[in-house]
Amino acid sequence: HNVYSYLQVRGSIPLYFSQSPYSFKPMPIMHHSAETNQLAFARHFRELSRRYGKVQAVSLIDKHAGELKLGEQYDRYANVFNEAGGIDGAPLRLEWFDFHSECRGMKFENVSRLVDRVRDTLEEFEYTTVKDGSTTRKQTGIVRTNCMDCLDRTGVAQCAFGQWALEQQLHNEGLNIDLGGDSSTQ
């Protein structure tokens, strides 16, 4: 039988910032210089690439109010990083998906829009398959997901990416199951 693996990572935005623990909707405050933040940003993504291959960053923070400024900084640092050559000449892929706006009203199934937006990358990165102790397919990249605190939003998105991988793996075994859209197989 085949043994399957799908790896993904989660983390905070790789910049120096803080939030007050005493506020319901705390405003992020940036720390250190732009150069220090750019260095930390580049080091983080190069290390991810060294470990896992290509990198698809997914940010789930809001595109308004308190989170917007930090999201814009993340986007700006990604652009500067890519203009400087990215990861060994390949650009860092960053998808900004405003989770609260897209999934308003507990419509978490709308995270499928995010999966659709990065589907080509998911298919390119694949997953790992081992049969009889030999690797027959190797995952070539990693999806790195963040929200502000890496809890609920990140968990929902990672579940959707994991579901995509499971559907591919089941298909590889000859089982065509739509885990999200077909109530008989859900």
- pLDDT tens string 148-170: 876 799 999 999 999 999 999 99
Cβ(94)–Cβ(57) below 8 Å: yes
Nearest to 140 by CA among 57, 58, 59, 49: 49
pLDDT in tens, 9-57: 999 999 999 988 887 778 899 999 999 999 999 999 999 999 999 999 9
Backbone angles phi, psi at 164, to 5 degrees: -60, -50
Name the band, by pLDDT with cuts 50, 70 and 90, for residue 137: very high
Q: Indicate the pTM of the whole model.
A: 0.92
CA distance 87 to 115: 23
Confidence check: pLDDT of 178 > 90: no
Helix H or strand E segment including 77:
helix 65-83
User: Residue 177, exposed/middle/buried by CB under 10 A (0-12, 13-18, 19+)?
Assistant: middle
* Contact in structure between 56 and 76 (CB atoms under 8 Å): no
For residue 176, give the 3-state DSSP assignment.
coil
Asked if residue 101 lies in contact with residue 44, where contact means CB atoms within 8 angstroms, the answer is no
Q: What is the pLDDT of residue 186?
A: 60
Distance of CA 49 to the CA centre of its chain: 14
